[in-house]
A and B are shown apart, each in its own frame.
Chain A
């Protein structure tokens, strides 16, 4: 009787989880989605606690209090710039829970485990373990505790893949002979090691794909737990998370015109020695904040292209002040968001929303490219490879074929950048050498702040008579 009631509660929770994701599809209903998810989770927890095999609440209470005490500050006070790290950390926690429960189940059940259950256990434990260490490595790279450049060595892919092959072979052996419990610690150790080695060669700018893939793995390990426990709620929630992560990683790969294999095993973004580095110094034009301010003041439309550099410099609030100052003068300001700008899917949108920029000002890649030819000024703040025109025409370039934001089609391009150092892909950005491009050298936060100050102080000829193109040509 009670078990039937609990099953029905689980069914309700599953429906609420599906509604949660459905409502998340648009900003207007998204917060209802969170509420639906919270109610579903609450029901599932209460239902579980009522189940007959839960005999002791002592450790449960300790663990729930401890988990809430860690989770609440992470949810309430974590700065938005640290959201990628927090997300990777939560993938690690989710995967850890799956791996631990799987391990515990194995020792409770073995050797009387059916082949199917044992397969699910093996999947749960292997995926959980490798996602746990893999996600911790991602946290380390995102927090810059570990070097963000790819770390590579000879035979890396062979070593990694053979390690995985051995772990899988041992897992198959364990499925066939569940009583051989000495195999399990070895399998876990190999999976943990594989997780570390898998992430080591991946560079910072590939994090959006990797973090999505880890999201998918964490979900699939939860679904595997559902098969072990024969719990459909777990299977549904795990499948939803798994497919979500998978879709996001596909979108990220497509936005870079690269394949999964290339992201995981390509060690993209190593510093390239050779012709690019040896190229002679080409002239670039640079400008001061005053000059930048007068060009912006004279324009009718501006598209800002933010990148990871904006997040690093924490410049989103200064960008918002510049946005206010320009909008106040009647300049139409929009933002072009590349899918892989930043360190996780949607990273730039969250930062700009945090700075109170209305979301209807944020353009996706295609819309931005449709608007750029009619735009007076493209202002690049901390983005690099995603604006490189070489991706469109230079077949030799490592980023050839990657969809880019066509800033070079705007009237004037201004790029805020610390130095001429190449971006993540290690390639020179030919955008910087165009006649219409002005380099604004400096820290993004300080530079944007100075432009805004300049706009406020001088007024810069209230009638925008001089076109921005003319302003550049005069120089």
Chain B
């Protein structure tokens, strides 16, 4: 196992623990916006999709990459917009 991979596992482990700590503190009031925000953030998969669509190595990879960029972009744009729209509605008296 190369160093890159072990480092990757360390990063994954730390981010998971961090995620548990941060998300445990989110008020139940905001669980729906939490889910749509984390979903928008995990659309960071767009990074991999963009590279695959832009590399133009084979027709198959370009097609798969392009569809993946479309799917991720839908989540990014839709996810951030609807999260903000929901949060704008939460008002105190």
Contacts and interface: CB of A to CB of B under 8 A. Distances in A.
Contact of B77 (A72, A83, A98, A344): A72
B13 to A, nearest CB: 8
B41 A240 contact: yes
Interface residues of A, number: 111
Interface stretch (A14-22, A157-165, A301-309, A383-391): A14-22
Given A66-B73, A241-B41, A353 B90 contact: yes
Decide if the interface of chain A is mainly helix, strand, loop or mixed.
helix
Of B31, B41, B56, most buried by chain A (CB within 10 Å of CB) is B41
Interface in A233-261: 233-245, 247-248, 251
Contact of A347 (B18, B32, B87): B32
A74 B78 CA distance: 6
Contacts of A63: 49, 53, 66-67, 69-70, 73
A222 B85 CA distance: 25
Contact of A234 (B25, B45, B84): B45
Of B62, B65, B68, B71, most buried by chain A (CB within 10 Å of CB) is B71
Contacts of A78: 82
B16 A90 contact: no
A25 B25 CA distance: 6
Interface residues of B, number: 82
A345 B27 contact: no
A33 B37 contact: yes
Interface in A64-94: 64, 66-68, 70-72, 74-76, 78, 80, 83, 86-87, 90-91, 93-94
Contacts of A442: none
A30 B52 CA distance: 34
A97 interface: yes
Contacts of B33: 24, 30, 346, 350
Given A60-B54, A236-B15, A244-B23, A108 B61 contact: yes
Given A53-B51, A234-B47, A347-B32, A70 B37 contact: no
A413 interface: no
B42 A56 contact: no
Nearest to A98: B45
A339 interface: yes
A62 B70 CA distance: 8
A30 B91 CA distance: 12
A219 interface: yes
B51 to A, nearest CB: 6
Interface stretch (A168-176, A357-365, A445-453): A357-365
A288 to B, nearest CB: 32
Given A41-B44, A83-B36, A100-B67, 16 more contacts: A21-B26, A21-B38, A24-B34, A44-B46, A63-B73, A71-B76, A90-B79, A93-B71, A96-B71, A101-B65, A230-B4, A239-B15, A346-B30, A349-B32, A350-B32, A364-B29
Interface of B: 1, 4-5, 7-8, 11-12, 15-16, 18-20, 22-58, 60-62, 64-93
Q: Which 5 A-B pairs have the closest CB atoms?
A: A67-B73, A75-B81, A346-B31, A243-B19, A71-B77
